[in-house]
Every structure is written in structure tokens, then in C-alpha cells.
Amino acid sequence: MADSTVSHDKLARRGLLFILSSPSGAGKTTISRMLLDADEEIRLSVSVTTRPPRPGEIDGVHYYFVGDAEFDSMVEEDDFYEWAPVFGYRYGTPKGRIRGALKEGQDFLFDIDWQGTQQLYQKDQQDVVRVFILPPSIAELERRLRSRGTDADEIIAARMERARAEISHWDAYDYVVINENVDACFAKVREILDAERMKRQRQTGLIPFVRELMS
């Protein structure tokens, strides 16, 4: 007989690597922050970048901001899970202790581009969940980049220039969500996360539970 003291909502499970990508300005940082506020079980994988901080960005919270020499030495020391050049700067995912924490059921959120997504997926297909966010239109994408008020005109132009190339990678993702209304987009992203957590393969606690049920 199954042990009635086992909580069915809290069966052990393996964590996942939840990736949000999009062309710049489509809203993945906005959705990431909403997710981190709403969900205590997921933690942001804080990237390392050579890009200078934007107003309001905090070192160690939004990114680890480093110089070129420090980034070079991290590459040499094999400190990155993946790294890629984006918009003239370098961005990388530090290894930290992701693998051990995954086993303990910790989920990680990644706000990374398509190149980093490919590299992470090649390293760990079973744990990666890939979500691509699309803007409702190219004109709205540009409006959002301008309304954010963080980038000079030439940076916005460079990001718009690359938008179509980035969108062309949409079919390398497991899920694609259009971010027209931010609350509706967030709700869909949460549904994806919830469903992925319930996948049989991730629910390591099911095996002893089912054995118990069948005994």
C-alpha cells in the first residue's frame, strides 16, 4: 500500500535548464524577471559579459560585468558552459555548480541567444527546454527598443539589423510564443514550465512512489 505520509505535490524531480531567447527587444528579459518574481523554484543563471552595464543593471545580479582580459582568462580556464559573441561583445554562461544543483531539483533560467542555446543543447539535451519569443511585428520590436531608452540610435540600428537573422533560428526551439500582451505571454511561458516539470522522465520520485503503489 502507498504511504499516506508522502506528499504527492512534492515528489522528487530533476531540475531543468529553461532557456528564453528572442531577437533583442522582443521581451525575454521582461518575461524572465516576471518568472523569477513569481516562481521560487527557478534561479537565474547570471551570465558574464564584456558589455558595459546599462543604467540600473547591477553587477552579480543582472550580469557579471568583466573586461576583455578577464573574459579571455575564463575562456582559457574552461569556466564557461557556453559563450558567444553578440553585438560586438562577448557573453558566457559560467559553469558554477549547475550539474549538482540539477540533481537536487533546482531549475535554472537562461536569457541567452541562439548560439548559446545550441551549445547548451548539445551538452545536455535531456535537461534543456528551449523557448523562443517573437515580437508581434518588426515595427513593434523597434518601438520597444526605443521605448526602453537604454541604447543609443546606432546600437538600436545594429540590433534591428540582426533581428531577422535571429528570428530565422525560431525552428531550433521546442516552443515559440508571440509576445503581444506581456501578461498573456508570461502565462504561456509559465504553462510551459509547469508542464515540463511534470514530464515523467524528470519526476525521479515517481519510481519509488509507483513501486509502493504496486506493492
Ligand X SMILES: Nc1nc2c(ncn2[C@@H]2O[C@H](COP(=O)(O)O)[C@@H](O)[C@H]2O)c(=O)[nH]1
CB of 147 to ligand ATP, least distance (A): 5
Site string for ligand X, 10-29 (x = CB under 6 A): --------------x-----
Binding site partner of 50, from ligand X, ligand ATP, none, Cβ cut-off 5-8 A by kind = none
Residue 116 annotated as binding?
Answer: no
* 111 touching ligand X, by CB under 6 A: yes
Please state the φ and ψ torsions of residue 11, each to the nearest 5 degrees.
-65, 145
* 182 touching ligand ATP, by CB under 6 A: yes
Please work out the total of residues on this chain that contact ligand X, with binding judged by CB under 6 A. 15
Which position among 16, 18, 24, 131 is part of the footprint of ligand ATP (CB under 6 A)?
A: 24
Binding site partner of 147, from ligand ATP, ligand X, none, Cβ cut-off 5-8 A by kind = ligand ATP
Q: End-to-end CA distance of the chain: give it in Å, rounded.
A: 6
Cα separations in angstroms, 98 against 31, 45, 120: 22, 9, 12
Helix, strand or coil, per DSSP, at residue 194: helix
Looking at the Cβ atoms of 124 and 151, the one nearer to ligand ATP is 151
Which position among 11, 39, 44, 51 is part of the footprint of ligand X (CB under 6 A)?
A: 51
Least Cα distance to 110 among 97, 129, 123 occurs for 129
* 147 touching ligand ATP, by CB under 6 A: yes
Q: How far apart, in whole angstroms, are the C-alpha atoms of residue 147 and residue 6?
A: 50
Site string for ligand X, 53-92 (x = CB under 6 A): -----------------------------x-x-xx---xx
Binding site partner of 30, from ligand X, ligand ATP, none, Cβ cut-off 5-8 A by kind = ligand ATP
Helix, strand or coil, per DSSP, at residue 127: coil
Looking at the Cβ atoms of 15 and 25, the one nearer to ligand ATP is 25
Residue 147 annotated as binding?
Answer: no
Helix axes 138-148 and 153-167, enclosed angle (nearest 10): 140
Which residue shows C-alpha cell 558595459? 52
Sequence-separated (6 or more) residues with CB below 8 Å from residue 148: 25
Contact 191, 198 (CB under 8 A): no
Cα separations in angstroms, 157 against 49, 51, 91, 104: 21, 17, 20, 43
- Residues annotated in a binding site for ATP: 22-29
- Residues annotated in a binding site: 22-29
